[in-house]
Amino acid sequence: MSPALAIAEAVNRGTSARAAVERALAACRAERWNCIVRTCEAEALAAAEAVDRRVRAGERLPLAGVPIAVKDNLCITGLPATCCSRMLAGYIAPYTATAIARLQDAGAVVVAQTNMDEFAFGSSNETSCYGPVRNPHDPTRIPGGSSGGSAAAVAAGLVPIAIGSDTGGSIRQPAGLCGCFGLKPTYGLVSRYGLIAFGSSLDQVGPLAADPADAEAALLAMAGPDPLDATSVAWELSAPAASLAGLRLGVVPAHREGLQPAVRAALEACCERARAAGAELVEVELPHERYAVAVYYIIGTGEAASNLARMDGVRFGHRAEADDLAALYAESRGQGFGAEAKRRIMLGTFVLSTGYYEAYYRKAMQVRRLIRDDFRAAFARCAAILGPVSPTTAFRFGEKLADPLQMYLSDIFTIAANLAGIPALSFPCGRDPDGLPIGLQLSGPPGSDRQLLAWSRALAISAGVPLAPCDAAA
């Protein structure tokens, strides 16, 4: 049984939730990767007791007593939510994100909050005001980002499930680089209420786990319409078929270009094993995907600049000393935001400004539509698309920090799914010659989230991937 479901099973049978929660708290306190920004001892122990009471009263909870870690951009009543930015230092959330409230209702216990790139801008977790996260498989390398803390926490075995957010790959890329499963759900499947917004038309909250069965349990707890998020919708998540036999699996020839040789070899080996297990491989084209990075950095920055406008030292955020209001805004924002956040705000303000809106934002929206239509056409010919998550395995600290374009290009394969609103996940599928995990991506039509998890499990098992936290935790 998967790690989280094993805990839930035991707690539902009467074992106290306290033991599992205390173990996770101790592991989070002692961790060496800087993936945890704070633990919440008192709240977690009280929540464990509440779970025990509910079980004693006869309830069966799907995630009874399962310790989880939550990215620091999701609000939880009474706890800080800083997006790992100086801007939100000292901010205490006045309410709980719907996705987290639903996990708690299902019996999960939040034990810690995880490190991330500042405001989720980044692919390496190097822009956090708490300092970088180290990859548990090699501490000289980045864990990926922006949910790098969540991925490292799962990879290091601190918690069986961590929650992240994905605007352009921020769950899948770190999951891939840390060797765990990470799902970006169908847009609208999980409520965004209480997620501190980056790009509202792109953001989704999703699970990272060492076993896709645990990710599925978390997804089922979180999913469903929410009156507090007008973009949330009801999707029918029918029970999936686990077998690869008869699966029409799409592959995109262009996805083989520019990959690190070991990543390319892992992709090809996975295709071979899928074929051997009875899947039929179908070549599909996504002709407009090559514009995805450009489109994303117009739409994503435009939405980010709008969403971050409220961080002005008056409504929200760090407040500087100043003599007049204009100076107060300028100083507060100048001091509160880091360099990457400032770059995004300037880019986003530019693409939305009068005279440029038509040339950039509007054009990007039109190309976004073409990207979505490409996926629609592809999914008429296959049930899922298999490809890389990122072109390389985990890179070293500092390698891409000075060159934003290189950093942005590490998201080249993940961004299109956010633009199209489709579900996509990363699953571990081998290692490079240095022993670093290689993640592959599976994407499917809207609502296929559970099915993708089931297929990814079969593909990972066929590659001999152990469905347990990495040995780095030992």
- Binding to ligand GLN by residue 302, rule CB under 6 A? no
- Contact residues for 322 (Cβ-Cβ < 8 A; gap 6+): 328, 330, 331, 332
Q: Which of 3, 169, 338, 437 binds ligand GLN (CB under 6 A)?
A: 169
**Residue 71 known to be catalytic:** yes
Q: Which of 82, 85, 114, 123 binds ligand GLN (CB under 6 A)?
A: 123
Q: How many residues make contact with ligand GLN (CB under 6 A)?
A: 13
In the bound state with ligand GLN, the residue whose beta carbon lies nearer, of 144 and 437, is: 144
- Binding to ligand GLN by residue 121, rule CB under 6 A? yes
Spatial separation of the C-alpha atoms in residues 49 and 56, rounded to whole Å:
10
- Binding to ligand GLN by residue 166, rule CB under 6 A? yes
- Least Å distance, CB 348 to ligand GLN, is 11
> How many residues are there in the chain?
474
In the bound state with ligand GLN, the residue whose beta carbon lies nearer, of 273 and 344, is: 344
Q: Which of 170, 232, 441, 443 binds ligand GLN (CB under 6 A)?
A: 170
Cα angle at 80 between 347 and 68, to 5 degrees?
A: 100
- Least Å distance, CB 127 to ligand GLN, is 9
Spatial separation of the C-alpha atoms in residues 274 and 271, rounded to whole Å:
5
Spatial separation of the C-alpha atoms in residues 447 and 423, rounded to whole Å:
7
**Residue 400 known to be catalytic:** no
Output the CA torsion sign for 5, 8, 14, 18: positive
**Residue 238 known to be catalytic:** no
Q: Which of 98, 146, 232, 390 binds ligand GLN (CB under 6 A)?
A: 146
Residue nearest to ligand GLN (CB): 170
- Binding to ligand GLN by residue 390, rule CB under 6 A? no
Tokens for 328?
């107060």
Question: DSSP code of 451?
Answer: H
Q: How many CA atoms lie within 13 Å of 373's alpha carbon, on the beta-carbon side?
A: 8
- Cα torsion through 376, 379, 384, 385, rounded to 10: -70
Q: Which of 35, 120, 133, 305 binds ligand GLN (CB under 6 A)?
A: 120
Q: How many CA atoms lie within 13 Å of 256's alpha carbon, on the beta-carbon side?
A: 14
In the sheet with 204-209, reading across from the earlier edge strand, the strands are 36-39, 109-114, 67-71, 161-166, 204-209, 181-184, 424-431, 437-443, 384-388, 248-251, 280-283
In the bound state with ligand GLN, the residue whose beta carbon lies nearer, of 121 and 187, is: 121
Which residue has 């629609």 as its token pair? Answer: 376
- Least Å distance, CB 418 to ligand GLN, is 7
- Binding to ligand GLN by residue 411, rule CB under 6 A? yes
- Binding to ligand GLN by residue 168, rule CB under 6 A? yes
In the bound state with ligand GLN, the residue whose beta carbon lies nearer, of 48 and 197, is: 197
Among residues 124, 146, 390, 443, the one annotated as catalytic is 146
- Least Å distance, CB 147 to ligand GLN, is 8
Q: Which of 91, 198, 337, 361 binds ligand GLN (CB under 6 A)?
A: 198
- Least Å distance, CB 90 to ligand GLN, is 23
Spatial separation of the C-alpha atoms in residues 474 and 470, rounded to whole Å:
8
Among residues 147, 150, 170, 456, the one annotated as catalytic is 170
Q: What element of type H or E holds 327?
A: helix 325-336
- Contact residues for 153 (Cβ-Cβ < 8 A; gap 6+): 28, 31, 35, 36, 69, 112, 114, 159, 162
Among the listed ranges 160-168, 252-260, 316-324, 371-379, the one in contact with ligand GLN (CB under 6 A) is: 160-168
- Least Å distance, CB 17 to ligand GLN, is 32
Which residues belong to the active site? 71, 146, 170
Give me the residues that bind ligand GLN (CB under 6 A), please: 120-123, 146, 166-170, 198, 300, 411
